[in-house]
């Protein structure tokens, strides 16, 4: 069936069950190592860096990214985060300058930290393992983050593994009352700096060079009014390759719990994500402009989509995910902005939705300013219990009362198959 509506969609839905347990679901165990108990292995070249060695205080009170000059203006403080004696970033910088395989250890304990930016490239490092055993608490002082900054960010890194059983606590309850994104049309849900004004790859190269000279400057120079975000993701991965995230917990994020942007070859498993059912825009995992992404064997309960597939993704596999509470697994919303990338090669299989408002949802905007396509998407063996809307295909999506009348774009078409 071909309709004159905003997107080209080719979907395959099969083996849906609204009660019971997934038939034939498989799991594969992936272990993790305790950072402090790693044995010395003389068969490899490795360097170990412990954040406590660099002054981190696991007392839950000391801000471990606090600058030496608290009387400086906010803008100078933001730059000083990168220049002064920052326990976590000092450990990272030393590790990034090492050679061979590198281990960074965050021992057990509660650490109060402001925004952290772990940036590459680490030219001579073949592999970085971050053993996150601790409990990281985000500062609730929103002025420390700046306009649109995230909390913990990894960017431009090859071969990162984040593991260890630790927790990222965004302490989002302090920010949720101020979140108007559910009613404000101009609230951008995910900060992206390189797909509106410049050729995409060229933009990434430019901001990479600028960032190496003036840390964090690209966050300010390339962010438009359309792209501002006032709340922070717990963990963001930007332009990463060969990344593994295993055995990590994220709770009470101020915004998205985990965001992938411009990532390739990303594997996540045994991840736990939790936030209250009424917490706004706390998507569990958001994926955008990424390829070769695989998430499995994870538990997600939050106030928005458990997993959201944004624009520009290809070859994404979601398997053995338990979702609830939340809004289910969604594709989109797509088509809000011009020149968005297509979505293709999505597989969602052997997942369970329990007590969610939606099961599988596809959201595309009417009045789309550009032409996009979403094709080759398979949803298989999805089990739903007490789900209000098991399957939704919304091709005139707009969550705001101020939306213009829904008019389908004549430049796009939608095709779907059950």
What does the angle CA 115 – CA 190 – CA 210 come to, to the nearest 5 degrees?
60
Q: Which of 131, 257, 286, 327 is catalytic?
A: 327
Q: Tell me whether residue 327 is one of the annotated catalytic residues.
A: yes
What gap in Å lies between CA 390 and CA 136, rounded to an integer?
Answer: 36
Place of tokens 């939606």: 358
Return the C-alpha torsion angle 323, 328, 331, 333, nearest 10: -130
The whole-angstrom separation of Cα 175 and Cα 167 is 19
The closest of 32, 110, 103, 118 to 297, measured between CA atoms, is 32
Write the burial class of residue 14 (CB in 10 Å: 0-12 exposed, 13-18 middle, 19+ buried): exposed
Beta strands in 5-124 (DSSP E): 7-14, 46-50, 59-63, 100-106, 110-113, 116-119
322 neighbors 295 (Cβ within 8 angstroms): no
The secondary element (H helix, E strand) that includes residue 235 is strand 235-238
| Residue carrying structure tokens 């402009």 | 289
Report DSSP state, residue 93: H
Query: For the chain, first and last CA: distance in Å?
Result: 11
Helix, strand, or coil here: 26?
Answer: coil
Please say whether the beta carbons of 44 and 127 come within 8 A: no
Rounded Cα distance between 309 and 289, Å, is 9
Determine the Cα–Cα distance for residues 250 and 298; give it in Å rounded to an integer. 12
Locate 368 and state its tokens.
């789309």
d(C-alpha 91, C-alpha 59), whole Å = 18
**401 Ramachandran zone, left/alpha/beta (phi>0; psi -120 to 50):** alpha
Match 């030496």 to its residue by tokens.
68
- The answer to whether the beta carbons of residues 250 and 272 sit under 8 Å apart is yes
Interatomic CA distance for residues 390 and 247, integer angstroms? 29
Cα(156)–Cα(170) distance, integer angstroms: 23
Active-site residues, by number, are 327
């Amino acid at each position: 069936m071909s309709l004159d509506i905003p997107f080209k969609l080719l979907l395959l839905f099969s083996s849906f069950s609204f009660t019971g347990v997934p038939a034939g679901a498989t799991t594969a165990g992936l272990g993790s190592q305790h950072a402090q108990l790693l044995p010395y292995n003389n068969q490899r070249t490795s360097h170990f860096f412990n954040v406590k060695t660099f002054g981190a205080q696991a007392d839950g009170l000391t801000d471990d990214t606090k600058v030496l000059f608290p009387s400086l203006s906010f803008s100078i403080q933001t730059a000083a985060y990168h220049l002064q004696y920052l326990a976590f970033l000092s450990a990272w910088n030393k590790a990034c300058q090492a050679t061979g395989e590198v281990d960074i250890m965050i021992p057990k304990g509660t650490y109060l930290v402001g925004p952290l930016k772990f940036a590459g490239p680490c030219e001579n490092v073949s592999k970085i393992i971050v053993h996150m055993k601790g409990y990281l608490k985000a500062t609730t002082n929103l002025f420390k983050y700046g306009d649109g900054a995230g909390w913990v960010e990894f960017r431009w890194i090859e071969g990162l593994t984040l593991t260890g059983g630790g927790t990222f606590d965004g302490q989002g309850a302090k920010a949720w009352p101020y979140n108007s994104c559910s009613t404000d049309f101009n609230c951008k849900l995910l900060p992206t700096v390189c797909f509106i004004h410049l050729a995409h790859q060229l933009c990434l190269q430019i901001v990479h060079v600028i960032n190496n000279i003036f840390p964090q400057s690209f966050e300010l120079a390339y962010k438009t009014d359309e792209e501002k975000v006032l709340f922070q993701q717990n963990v963001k991965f930007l332009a990463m390759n060969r990344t593994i995230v295993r055995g990590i917990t994220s709770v009470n994020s101020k915004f998205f719990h985990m965001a992938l942007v411009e990532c390739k070859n990303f594997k996540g498993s045994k991840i736990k994500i939790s936030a209250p059912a009424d917490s706004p825009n706390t998507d569990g995992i958001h994926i955008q402009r990424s390829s070769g992404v695989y998430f499995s064997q994870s538990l997600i309960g939050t106030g928005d989509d458990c997993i959201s597939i944004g624009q520009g993704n290809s070859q994404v596999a979601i398997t053995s995910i338990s979702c609830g509470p939340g809004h289910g697994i969604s594709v989109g919303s797509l088509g809000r902005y011009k020149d968005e990338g297509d979505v293709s090669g999505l597989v969602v299989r052997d997942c369970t939705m329990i007590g969610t408002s939606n099961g599988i949802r596809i959201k595309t905007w009417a009045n789309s300013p550009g032409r996009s396509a979403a094709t080759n998407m398979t949803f298989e063996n999805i089990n739903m219990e007490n789900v209000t809307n098991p399957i939704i295909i919304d091709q005139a999506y707009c969550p705001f009362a101020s939306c213009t009348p829904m008019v389908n774009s004549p430049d796009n078409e939608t095709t779907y198959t059950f």
